[in-house]
Structure 1
Amino acid sequence: MQKIEYKELLDAGVHFGHLTRKWDPRMAPYIFMERNGIHVIDLNKTKVSLEQAQEQIKNIVKSGRKIMFVATKKQAKEVVATEAARLKMPFVTDRWLGGMLTNFATVRKSLKKMNSIDKLMKSEEFMNLAKRERLMLEREKEKLERVLGGIADQTRLPAALFVIDVKREHIAVKEAKKLGIPVFAIVDTNSNPEDIDYVIPGNDDAFKSIALLTKAVGSAIEEGIQERKKEKEEANQAELEAEKIAADKAEEAKAPEAPAADAEGDKE
């Protein structure tokens, strides 16, 4: 798991908050000082918070569950989508559909529809449709993929959310809170940290800051995946060894007993 050093946080500008007049007083415990009208985030607290979040995220993934990435702001979309796709985790980077968590049954219907259109477009039947119908289906598929493409393989609710900019993604945070789904988030000085289970105080606007923190979370997920894989392999190996021991014992039980020595022959 990638441990981020203080200098890396500093170089990425993670400490730069918003203008003091835009601050949320509830972020006061995470603010180090004010400089030139801008709040400076305490990077020591960022480092500790990040490491705590990484450990929790690793354990969630190790148990076989998923972390959903949520980042719809322009400077975060690409890095978040790339990291989530690499780790085979669900992500939302276009826009958050109201009810994506609280009305997941409806979202699943839309996912099924998207998959149905995809199958139809790959079949011969698609070419037999009128040009106008084909164009309408292509547009509908494109629209669904843009909004739901990142959660196409999602069959159940995620175990947790990782959010960039909780102020912007307040609907996602609200839905997660309603369902008791923990939220890990990069929280800037203009946001309310009270609804976030694992606050990572930091700059949620600069690309370098977002990329560094997202990749740090990604490394925790990767380690969780690897540890789960290792545990499965060890369990399978133990099972094979147990089966072999049982088979050996069964063979021993079937083997005929050696004939008893002839009594008279022994006397001679």
Structure 2
Amino acid sequence: MAVTIDKMFQMGLHLGHQSKQVNPKMAPYICGKKKGEHVLDLVQTYFFLKKASRFLAKAASQKKTFLFVSRKKQLTELIATIAPKCGSFYVNQRWLGGLLTNWETVKKSLDKLNNFERQEKSGLLSGFSKKELASWKRQKDRLDRELGGLRGMVRLPDVVIVIGQPESINAVRECRKLGIPNLTILDTNCDPTLADIFIPANDDSVTSLRFLLTTLLKAIQRGQSRSSTNKK
């Protein structure tokens, strides 16, 4: 799907929040108001989306790793679909405090999840009592829900892609503390000073976000393809 201002308009990327929810720091990226809701400047959205795509393509060509983060319920399935298509990781449920800043502890929980899955495949569960099996399943389900999108992640990500800054502010803070670049889709209620790379756009509509995430996915895949070609 080609990225054009007309297409972005059709996908609703320009639709912001009600004016009473605006973050004043987003003023440079707002071009007006309609029915009490702010409207984002799609010319700037186009520019920043292109800039973000170039950044991701370059990072992917250098074999950088990516972590997608969103706590928006309407994006749970979309994030879980998009991230694996470019070999990336994701958090689409609760953000565990210290997931990045206390990575070694989180890694131990990931190892525990992997061990649970090995037990399941090996048939060891057949020797468990009903009570033991119920406890085992509760623990595995919790770890899978919280860390399932991090399977295979052995070190901190090089880039974190954030959708829904207010909901994922703890992830943003951890990135900033560790110096990990965050690329964030910023709606009119967000703070651009907390993002290293950003795209001013509607971060609530599934239609808008599917368009944006698909565009970012393709940028990463282009970079990965470039990296593979350079190997030969």
- Partner of 1:231 in structure 2? 230
Alignment of structure 1 residues 41-120 onto 2, 5 Å: 41-120=40-119
**2: CA distance, partners of 1:19 / 1:134:** 49
- Asked whether 1:147 is paired with 2:146, we answer yes
Give the partner amino acid of 1:177.
R
The one-letter code of the counterpart of 2:138 is R
Q: For residues 1-268 of structure 1, what are the structure 2 equivalents within 5 Å?
A: 3-233=2-232
Segment drifting more, 86-95 vs 41-50? 86-95
Q: Aligned partner of 1:85: which letter?
A: P
Give secondary structure in 1 for the equivalent of 2:217. helix
Q: Please say which of residues 86-95 and 127-136 is displaced more in the overlay.
A: 127-136
% same residue: 36
Deviation at 1:101, TM superposition (A): 0.5
Moved over 3 A (4+): none
Structure of greater Rg: 1
Aligned amino acid, residue 78 of structure 2: V
Q: Normalized against structure 2, the TM-score is what? A: 0.97
RMSD of aligned Cα (Å): 1.1
Moved more, 53-62 or 122-131: 122-131
Number of residue pairs matched? 232
SS in structure 2 at match of 1:161:
strand
Q: For 2:135 and 2:155, how far apart are their aligned partners in 1?
A: 29
Which amino acid letter does the alignment assign opposite residue 165 of structure 1?
Answer: G
Whether the 8 Å CA contact 1:3–1:51 is kept in 2: the answer is no
- The aligned residue for residue 240 of structure 1 is none
Deviation at 1:72, TM superposition (A): 1.3
Could you tell me how far apart the structure 1 residues matched to 2:97 and 2:201 are?
Answer: 26
CA distance in 2, matches of 1:175, 1:124: 39
Structure 1 gap ranges (5+): 234-268
User: Is contact 1:184–1:199 with CA below 8 Å preserved after alignment?
Assistant: yes
Does the CA-based 8 Å contact 1:76-1:164 persist in structure 2?
A: no
Q: Which whole-Å CA distance do the structure 2 matches of 1:146 and 1:105 have between them?
A: 19
Q: Distance in 1 between matches of 2:198 and 2:61?
A: 21
- Once the two structures are TM-superposed, the CA of residue 16 in structure 1 deviates from its matched residue by 0.5
TM-score, normalised to structure 1, is 0.84
Higher RCO (CA < 8 A, seq sep 6+): 2
Tell me the distance in 2 between the aligned counterparts of 1:137 and 1:45. 51
Q: Which ranges in structure 2 are unaligned for 5 or more consecutive residues?
A: none
